[in-house]
Amino acid sequence: MSEQYLRETPFHDRIAAVASAQSWERWQGHITAVTLGGMDREYFAIRNSASVYDVSPLIKYRITGADAARFVDRLITRDVARCAIGQAYYTPWCDDDGKVIEDGTLFRLGKADFLLNAALHNLHWLRDTAYGFDVTIEDVSAEIAGLSVQGPLAQTVLIAMGIGGLERLAHMRLAETRLDDRPMRVSRTGFTGDLGYELWIRPGDASWLWDRLMAAGALYNVLPIGSAALNHARIEAGFILVNVDFISATYALRPSQKRSPYELGLGWAVNLKKDGYFIGKRALLAERKAATPRRALVGLEIDGRKPAVDAFIYAGKREVGRTTSAIWSPTLKKNIAIASIAGDQALPGTELGIEIWHPKELKIERSMVGCRVVHRPFYDPPRKKA
Amino acid sequence: MQRYDAVIVGAGHNGLVTAAYLAKAGKKVMVLERRHLIGGAAVSEQLYPGFTYSSCSYVCSLLRPEIMRDLDLPRHGLQVNPYETSSCPTHHGEPLVMYHDADRNRRSMSRHSARDAEAYDCYSLEIRRQCRFIKPLLMMTPPDPTSFKWGDIEGLLRLGRTFGQMGERQMYDILRFWTMSIADFLDEYFESEIVKALSAGSSIIGTALGPRSPGSAYVLLHHYMGEVDGEIGAWGFARGGMGSVSKAIAGAAREAGAEIRTEAEVTAVIVKGGKAVGVALADGEEVYGTAIVSNLDPKRTFLKILPRQHLPEEVYEQAERFKIRGSSGKLNIALDALPQFKGLPYDAHCGAIEIGDSLDYLERAFDDYKYGQWSRRPFLDIVIPSTVDPTMAPPGKHYMSVFVQYVPYKLADGPWTDEKRQAFGDTVIDTISEYCPNFRDLILHCQVRTPWDLENEVGLTEGNIFHGELTLDQLMFNRPFPGAAQYRTPVRNFYMCGSGTHPGGGVMGAPGANAAREILKDFKGRVLS
Ligand SMILES: Cc1cc2nc3c(=O)[nH]c(=O)nc-3n(C[C@H](O)[C@H](O)[C@H](O)COP(=O)(O)OP(=O)(O)OC[C@H]3O[C@@H](n4cnc5c(N)ncnc54)[C@H](O)[C@@H]3O)c2cc1C
């Protein structure tokens, strides 16, 4: 009488029906696909036609109440006053030491109505920091199902499906719409760095949406994908992943492993000028005054074509960091990585050495090659924002 | 006449660890045990045909992995099988089941409070941060901050370095944590009563503190700093019962040449010219050795076996003042079938089941105890090792261990009697029956042990399971008391190796290993001769 302890997403039946690879993993207590049929096909769907990825397990907090805007402004590092209704904000949020707890997307649904999309559970932190504010914070994750449609044909497919007004929907904007008389929120957001949208619906409408999308997409090579292909795309897009590229301040056992937004390359998302205190402001102000940040999360282009997974990076003989995410990019035809390195080595153009261990017919070989610091994102097609 | 390099009084698991390390270093070692079996509070006994009881300690986590490796304990028969749940049945709504698996646990906890389910991550991380500080201290002799010896200064420096890596806030947190009550600590994380109650269980086991008493948070840490195969805070069943821990250590000791004698009660330490030289046994026999090592608790060590005329008055008084209040009882029960606890899934019966669904419940249990009564509604820590370990009971039947908190050593209405023991046992069985209606019908045999029994059978003063309360005034360089905290005593050549020394009680082996290291140091430095 032991219960099933991983949840199925609202799309599970549909995905399982086409997941011939039977390759599953966990995502926040849910069963999700690593790949459905073939990782390469799925990856190229993202860059070549249109991909469909189930993002239902994302954690979503709804923040409402008279003080909602004031509270969110205190929570995040960006300035909420500048976030229009119907806009999506990518933003980190920090602890009092100015160390990043997480990064995520904030949807402003109304004057005093927000949706915070997160990868980790934050309710405890949100409720604690909401003390004294007239706000209600609810975990609405299970009330909203989501599909991410990404790729050069994403817009075409969604228009073919009958979703109106997409041509006018700018990057990082939301639209509330209806299709077949069912409510749907469309956001022009995603984790691939490509043209793409996320469709948010009631869980009960999941099969309907899936079937509609697949029917409309049949002519355009729309392909459901798993997390492996997505991960390739997100690295190319330079998006960082909590507990992969950095440890959340909440989860770090050692204080030295916590990172500030500056140390993660997210300085652009910190607004020190906004009115009043936000969590971490004092520490971030002090950090800004000091010279270079202690650590930096940078992009690397690496010689050769061996993916530099968990590789150490050297400046001469000095070890200065290691890679946190690394792939061979099929689109760029480049060997790329996100790496955590010493702050004084982080200037774009800096030439470094990297030690890569790679398996070769049951042997492990070591190669020492050159690499250089480059700007993230690695891949940023104009269509993303067009 | 035989003369040994070391004579160890008591074959508790710590005495055996000391013996094994000394023997491995080439010393000639004799261990003398009062009882007919070795292991002290880590024993397995067959008191009913076909069933094996872990009659005192019942679960394993604290035993230091360094010791398992040094003594090659798996080769001598040690196997620890982890269990993965702890749960709390209740009359108020759904039971709480906590799982090892993070996703499953979050889902289960969120039935009681979505916020608590999330706060749990932060809570367990904070406990792990606290463990990170304490772990390096376990296998080291606590440095004495008042001494200016190089070893002590070096030890303090090492401590300082761990402390220094922590950041200011964490240092404050540590100081706070070591002195605060578990109720205050849990209030900072959780809102649900049952979540707090289930988390607080380990903070009251074996202590004479309530969940709202300052100092109880540390007791929780003491139960958390163990591990099974690197999994911090995990607990498991020793295959064959806790006696197999002692047997494995004894195996290693014997292999290295140590002798172990049972039914050899030591009545006195023989002191000549201010130096311990041997021990006298109950039957009049005398055994001589260079180092005399006591595995007994500090009270028995200083007030019972060491003749008073050899002790400075101050030390005698410190020993008298030492806090060693018994507060725990134990039922070992042979069951005809697996009991079904109200609302608990099958998995939950394979882990720890705790009775006591609110902090108030636990605090009230403590209130009764304070005034010399056993708790009318006691906190129970129940495990059924036979759900995991097939050697504990015949197929289909089960062995249940019930640890009971709180039970006084001294009752307000006079000494323990057979009737009172019976009545105490009934209180416990009635409490279980509230959650498990046909429980009585399943009982084939039941052993009831009060603190008084624990003292008389196992030799734990007042039945205190840790050989002395685990409060800051009796920890680290204060354990058992200042000036005697480095396994040496004021009497030359007389050492301590039991749970009354740093880092304290539980089936951990660390006191025994640390004592052996100090004794070998003294052999080498010719302090011992
Ligand atoms: C009911 C109970 C449940 C417990 N549950 C757990 C648990 O689940 N997990 C855990 O880790 N810990 C548990 N503990 C605590 C743990 O068992 C003890 O702290 C630990 O076993 C003590 O070991 P020791 O070697 O220091 O001393 P002891 O085990 O007390 O050994 C002392 C030995 O000295 C002998 N002795 C006494 N007097 C004399 C004498 N005059 N001459 C010769 N020999 C003598 C005794 O017979 C005994 O064998 C529990 C304890 C009890 C009592």
> pLDDT by residue (tens digit) across A151-163?
999 999 999 999 9
CATH of region B324-461, choose from 2.60.40, 3.30.519, 1.10.3470, 3.90.1720: 3.30.519
Structural domain count of chain A = 2
A220 belongs to a structural domain: yes
Q: Which of B270, B295, B452, B470 to mutate to test the pocket of ligand 1 (most atoms within 8 A of CB)?
A: B295
**Which atom of ligand 1 is least distant from the CA of B55?**
1
* Closest among B382, B478, B385 to B439, alpha carbons compared: B382
State the pTM of this model.
0.92
Neighbours of B81 (CB within 10 A): 13
Question: What's the pLDDT score for residue B157?
Answer: 79
Task: Determine the structural domain holding residue A338 and report its residue range.
Answer: 291-384
Is residue B158 scored above 80 in pLDDT?
no
Average pLDDT rounded to a whole number, residues A229-247: 97
Q: Within this chain, do residues A51 and A153 fall inside the same structural domain, yes or no? A: yes
pLDDT band at residue A3 under the 50/70/90 scheme: low
- On whether both A26 and A169 belong to a single domain, the answer is yes
> Which amino acid, residue B199?
S
Cβ neighbours of residue A43 under 8 Å, at least 6 residues apart?
Answer: A225, A228, A229, A232, A233, A330
A300-325 tens-digit pLDDT: 999 999 999 999 999 999 999 999 99
Same-domain check for residues A209 and A324 = no
Tell whether A131 lies on the interface with B, counting CB pairs under 8 A.
Answer: no
Residue of A nearest to B343 (CA): A1
Among A173, A200, A225, identify where a domain stops.
Answer: A225
pLDDT of residue B1: 65
Q: Taking all residues of chain A, what is their mean pLDDT, rounded to a whole number?
A: 95
Q: Which CATH superfamily is domain B3-43+242-323+465-524 in?
A: FAD/NAD(P)-binding domain (3.50.50.60)
Percent of chain A with pLDDT over 90: 94
Task: Tell which one of B286, B303, B450, B499 to mutate to probe ligand 1, the residue whose CB is within 8 A of the most ligand atoms.
Answer: B499
Tell me: do A302 and A378 sit in the same domain.
yes
Domain regions of chain B by residue span: 3-43+242-323+465-524, 116-231, 324-461
User: Across all residues in chain B, what is the average pLDDT?
Assistant: 95
Kindly determine whether residue A2 and residue B345, on different chains, have CB atoms separated by under 8 Å.
yes
Does B99 sit within 8 Å of A254, measured CB to CB? no
Do residues A378 and A325 touch, judged by C-beta distance below 8 A?
A: no
**Do A379 and A297 belong to one domain?**
yes
Residue A2, pLDDT > 60, answer no
Residue A104 lies in a domain: no
More confidently predicted of A206 and A1: A206
Look at the block and give the residue holding tokens 């041509």: A167
> Is A14 contained in some domain?
yes
Structure confidence by residue, pLDDT tens digits, B452-484: 999 999 999 999 999 999 998 999 889 999 888
**Res B169: pLDDT:** 76
In a domain, A84, yes or no: no
Residue B108 with chain A: CB contacts under 8 Å: 5
What is the spatial distance between Cα A247 and Cα A257, in angstroms, rounded to a whole number? 7
Provide mean pLDDT across the span B29-50. Answer: 98
State the closest ligand 1 atom to the C-alpha of B304, by its place in the atom list counted from 1. 41
Can you tell me the distance from the alpha carbon of B43 to that of B58, in angstroms, rounded to the nearest whole number?
9
A221 & A300 share domain: no
Q: What is the CATH number of the domain that holds A22?
A: 3.30.1360.120
* Alpha carbon nearest to ligand 1 atom 1, residue: B56
Residues of chain B in contact with residue A3, where contact means CB-CB under 8 angstroms, are: 345
Q: Return the structure tokens found at A221.
A: 């090579």
Please name the residue whose Cα sits nearest to atom 38 of ligand 1.
Answer: B459
Given B106, B128, B345, which is nearest A29 (Cβ)?
B106
Instruction: Provide mean pLDDT across the span B498-523.
Output: 97
**Residue A314: CB atoms within 10 Å:** 16
For position A318, which CATH number holds? 2.40.30.110
What is the per-residue pLDDT across B117-130, written as a single tens digit (0 to 9) for each?
Answer: 999 999 999 999 88
Reported as a single tens digit per residue, the pLDDT across A78-107 is 999 999 999 999 999 999 999 999 999 999
Structure confidence by residue, pLDDT tens digits, B311-357: 999 999 999 999 999 999 999 999 999 999 999 999 999 999 999 99
Cα Rg of chain B, angstroms? 22
Same domain membership, residue A314 and residue A171: no
Note the pLDDT of residue A1.
40
Contact of A143 with chain B, judged by CB distance below 8 Å, is answered with no
Instruction: Identify which of B458, B501, B502, B508 to mutate to test ligand 1's pocket (most ligand atoms within 8 A of the CB).
Output: B458
Residue at a domain's end among A184, A209, A225: A225
**Contact call for A121 and B166, based on CB within 8 A:** no
Measure CB to CB from residue B345 to each of A1, A124, A250 and give the nearest one.
Answer: A1
| Residue at which a domain ends, from A225, A260, A280 | A225
Give the whole-angstrom CA distance, residue A353 versus residue A370. Answer: 5
Q: State the closest ligand 1 atom to the C-alpha of B300, by its place in the atom list counted from 1.
A: 38
Nearest CA to ligand 1 atom 15: B506
Instruction: Provide, as residue numbers in chain B, all residues whose Cβ is less than 8 Å from the Cβ of A255.
Output: 165-167, 170
- Is the ipTM here above 0.90? no
What residues in A contact B115, CB-CB < 8 Å? Answer: 123-124, 127
A19 in any annotated domain: yes
Residues of B with CB under 8 A from a CB of A: 99, 101, 103-104, 106-108, 114-119, 121-122, 125, 128-129, 132, 165-167, 169-170, 189, 345-347
Domain assignment present for residue A281? The answer is: no
Can you tell me the mean pLDDT for A41-62? 97
